[in-house]
A and B are shown apart, each in its own frame.
Chain A
Amino acid sequence: MTGSAWIMLLATWSVVGSFTAYFLLKILKKDKS
């Protein structure tokens, strides 16, 4: 894989992964409280 492909992949996966984790954790936290 080229460097630019790695950069795009890692940047996008980080953005999507972080938002998904953030919102789901928030839901689990709210559910607990």
Chain B
Amino acid sequence: MSGTSESWGSRLGLVLAMAGNAVGLGNFLRFPAQAAQNGGGAFLIPYLVSFVLMGLPLLWVEWAIGRHGGQFGHHSAPGMFDRLGKQPWLKYVGVLGLFTSMTVAAYYCYIESWTLAYVWHSVVGTFSEQKATDFFPQYLDAANGGITALPVQGLCFFFLTLGLNVWVLSRGLTAGIERTAKLLMPLLLVFAAILAVRGLTLPSTAAGVVQSPLDGLNFVWQPQLSGLANPSTWLAAAGQVFFTLSLGMGSIHCYAAYLKKNDDIALNAASAGWLNEFVEVILGSAILIPIATAYLGLAAVQAATAGGSGFALGFLTLPQLFQHWGWFAPVAGALWFSLLFFAGITSSLAMGQPLLAFLEDEFGIGRKKAALVFGGSTLVLGLWCVVFYPAGAFDEFDFWTGTFSLVVFALLEAFIFVWIFGIGPGWAEIERGADIKVPRAFRYVLQYVTPVFLLVVFLGAMIKPATASWSEAISGLASGQGWAFAPDSVLGKILHVDDPGYAWFTDGSPTRAFIQDMTRILLLLVFVGCSALVALAWRRKKVHE
């Protein structure tokens, strides 16, 4: 173990880097659609309850595990978890923190590269000549009807995005990650504010406007209190809080590991968490849906967000709608996709740092070389997502690493922190150096409420029913109709419930199901590989001791 002497240059830089880690594309694309589809304004009640009872306590846990591990020279999850107890298997739980950040980075950098490409195409006026709905499938080379794609332009932007990430990471914590966050986070806030003001003040007499943008805001905020009684609303709210804070990924632990023993974590974690909420709840709800409603009407927006995602609106619709804004159209496009790019890169840097830290700490590899290793692994895994995009490889990555693995890791870390490390030492760790008094009630929340919350989210993800309502599914089960798994539940995915003619080959050619299963095997192999590296690192350590 070489350990690294790096540390954060300033407290504001740390908070902005942590907030940048949390603020991602989902703040602007997923949150407004989730809110609109799950009770509107009433969604915010379970959302804020989940933030206080699950999000905030877990932030403190991850910061505490990170700072604790950093004192022993460990800046990545395997080493940190090894120090939480005497059990040798703890470090393999930490592997999840390494595996998740590494594999999420692979497909996330690809999405990030789309935003960069869209900035370019907004500026050069592509969307004034070509509809984004035609442009996007061509860009991905996903319209050829096959199971593979070779998007030349998409690959160029992917390489560029990856190069930028590697370059920033190779510059180090302060000169690279912190400086980037200090520059991009304020810009993101300014760009979002400009678009929100412009969108919300669109006059009803403006060309192309069919409805007031405030009707869109009403769609997001109108409380449908009946939704509060539906478990789906609570699960959706808890899930949104969980994903928006970048919990269960290993990146928060990693950033916090560069703090000193008596540095505050209570106030820093709360600040970063609330800053993310500010971007999501205030700015995230004020751009996409109001602008889309103004030009498309509420019915079209309701249909476009029916799946709980605003991705199609953000990438396929908004570039077109900006064309109504005359000379401001390229500027608006550049602002929108730049802010998405800033949100993306500040998150992907946080996904890269754990691997760099692991290689530096446990294998003594220099930062520049470690950054290249991150670039290489992200390139290989990312290429799989790019080439097999039409067969659903990208979605497989998103589900197993960007959704399932996060929840599993968070669930395990919550139990380990409370029951193995111990709530006494754990609470002392959170309170040490604290610049705010953390209410003692949170000790009990951490001990009993947060793990139960996570367990419910986990079980919800495992057995999500095919029907939209949990109540319907439960009464169906009680009346002997059985339980049908949703295609996006864990068991539904494993059983391929959305593919009744499931087969690996048809007429000798591989099917989508084949690529999906190969993707799962690939991810499993990456996990095994990470575990083997951890085993090797600890064996080397034993030999040297």
Interface residues, chain A, with chain B CB atoms under 8 Å away = 1-2, 4-6, 8-9, 12-13, 15-17, 19-20, 23-24, 26-28, 30-31
Contact between B267 and A8, CB atoms less than 8 A apart: no
Q: Check if B277 sits within 8 Å of A5, measured CB to CB.
A: no
Whether the pair B12, A31 counts as a contact (CB closer than 8 A) is yes
Task: Tell whether B268 is near chain A: CB-to-CB under 8 Å.
Answer: yes
Which residue in chain B gives the minimum CB-CB distance to A10?
Answer: B221
Q: Does B306 contact A (CB under 8 A)?
A: no
Contact between chains at B218 and A8 (CB < 8 Å): no
* Chain B stretch 218-268: residues in CB contact (< 8 A) with chain A: 218, 221-223, 264, 267-268
On whether A19 and B274 interact (CB within 8 A), knowing A5-B223, A12-B281, A26-B436, the answer reads yes
CB-nearest residue of chain B to A18: B274
How far is it, in angstroms, between the C-alpha of A5 and the C-alpha of B214 when the chains are bound? 10
Residue of A nearest to B215 (CB): A1
Task: Assess whether A30 is in contact with B267, with CB atoms less than 8 Å apart.
Answer: yes
Measured CA separation A9–B12 after assembly (Å) = 29
Q: Is there contact, CB below 8 Å, between B223 and A26?
A: no
How many residues of chain B have a CB within 8 Å of chain A? Answer: 29
Whether the pair B12, A23 counts as a contact (CB closer than 8 A) is no
In the bound complex, CA of A7 to CA of B410 (Å): 34
A6 to chain B, nearest CB (A): 8
Task: From B40, B278, B435, give the contact of A30 (CB < 8 A).
Answer: B435
Task: State whether B436 touches A28 (Cβ < 8 A).
Answer: no
Given A23-B267, A27-B12, A30-B11, A1-B435 contact (CB < 8 Å): no
The answer to whether A20 touches B278 (Cβ under 8 A) is: yes
Chain A residues near B42 (CB, 8 Å)?
8
The reply on B44 being an interface residue by CB < 8 A is yes
CA distance A15 to B129 in the complex (A): 44
Q: Give Cα A30 to B270, complex, Å.
A: 15
Choose from A1, A28, A30 the contact partner of B217 (Cβ within 8 Å): A1
Q: Does B176 contact A (CB under 8 A)?
A: no
The CA-CA distance from A3 to B270 in the complex, in Å, is: 31
Give B residues with C-beta under 8 Å from A: 10-12, 15, 40-42, 44, 48, 214-215, 217-218, 221-223, 264, 267-268, 270-271, 274-275, 277-278, 281-282, 435-436
Asked if A5 contacts B281 (CB within 8 A), the reply is no
A5 to chain B, nearest CB (A): 4
Q: Would B221 and A20 count as touching, CB distance under 8 A? A: no
Q: Please, how many angstroms separate the alpha-carbon atoms of A24 and B15 in the complex?
A: 9
CA–CA, A12 to B221, complex, Å?
10
Do B270 and A23 touch across chains, with their CB atoms under 8 A apart?
yes
Min CB distance, A15 to chain B, in Å? 7
Residues of chain A within 8 A (CB-CB) of B264 are 30
A31 touches B10 (CB 8 A): yes
Contact B217 A20 (CB under 8 A): no
- Selected from B44, B215, B277, the residue in CB contact (under 8 A) with A8 is B44
The SS class assigned to the A binding surface is: helix
Taking a contact as CB atoms under 8 Å apart, the answer to whether B282 and A13 are in contact is yes
Q: Tell me which residues across on chain B come within 8 A of A12, comparing CB atoms.
A: 41, 44, 48, 221, 281
Q: A4 CA to B218 CA in the complex, in Å?
A: 9
Contact B218 A1 (CB under 8 A): yes
Q: List 22 A-B contacts (CB under 8 A).
A: A4-B223, A5-B40, A5-B221, A5-B223, A6-B221, A8-B42, A8-B44, A9-B41, A9-B221, A12-B48, A16-B274, A16-B277, A19-B277, A20-B274, A20-B275, A24-B15, A26-B271, A27-B11, A27-B435, A30-B11, A30-B267, A31-B12
Give bound CA distance, A20 to B436, whole Å.
14
Known: A1-B217, A12-B48, A16-B282. A27 touches B15 (CB 8 A): yes
Q: How far is the CA of A21 from the CA of B48 in the complex (A)?
A: 17
Distance, CA A12 to CA B220, complexed state (A) = 12
A26 to B215, CA, bound (A): 37
From known contacts A1-B217, A13-B281, A31-B12, infer whether A24 and B41 are also in contact, taking CB-CB under 8 Å.
Answer: no
Say whether, besides A1-B218, A5-B223, A8-B41, A17 and B12 are in contact (CB < 8 Å).
Answer: no
A31 CA to B270 CA in the complex, in Å? 16
Distance in angstroms from A29 CB to nearest chain B CB is 9
Is B214 touching A1 in the complex (CB atoms < 8 A)?
Answer: yes
| Residue among B11, B221, B223, B282 with the highest chain A CB neighbour number at 10 A | B221
Task: Point out the residues of chain B lying under 8 angstroms from A8, CB to CB.
Answer: 40-42, 44, 221-223
Residue of chain B at shortest CB distance from A9 = B221
CB <8 Å contact, A16 and B12: no
Report Cα–Cα, A23/B40, bound state, in Å: 27
Q: Which of A5, A15, A19, A23 contacts B41 (CB 8 A)?
A: A5
Q: Shortest 7 CB-CB distances between A and B: which pairs?
A: A8-B41, A23-B271, A20-B278, A5-B221, A1-B218, A20-B274, A5-B222
A13 to B275, CA, bound (A): 12
- Shortest Cβ distance from residue B193 to the other chain A in the assembled complex, whole angstroms: 13
Complex Cα–Cα for A16 and B214 (A) = 20
Q: Which of A1, A4, A16, A24 contacts B271 (CB 8 A)?
A: A24
